[in-house]
Amino acid sequence: MPDPKSIASLLPHGWDQMPFEHFREGVEICRLWQGSPDVALLRYAPGATVPRHRHGGLETILVLSGTQSDDAGDYEKGTIVFNPAGSEHRVWSDRGCVVLIQWERPVEFV
């Protein structure tokens, strides 16, 4: 069984000191937990997009700063979003954002 892990001082902007790496064009990732589920921070540059994809398991997103958008609307700081298995959407951020994301299974780009 893996050991518990904690991250102190993540809020309000402690993620600025976290190690991010390239994830896709305009989006960086800081992996916080790898396994099932995976947990990470995603940092979107202004105008960054993620193409349409289908979720293989539940995805949970908490917007920590900025605004993240998808086909269903815009999500401001403090919004939590649940994308169930089988749901599809594309994602973007006009102004940039940081989100905490947890996913059960990898997505499939469609």
Segment-wise mean pLDDT, segments of 10 residues, the chain, 110 residues: 82 90 97 93 97 96 97 96 96 98 93
C-beta of residue 39 within 8 angstroms of C-beta of residue 99: no
Spans of all domains in the chain = 18-109
Residue 1: per-residue pLDDT: 61
Superfamily of the domain at 18-109: Jelly Rolls (2.60.120.10)
pTM of the model: 0.93
Is 98 exposed, middle or buried, given 0-12, 13-18 or 19+ CB atoms closer than 10 A? buried
Residue 4: per-residue pLDDT: 86
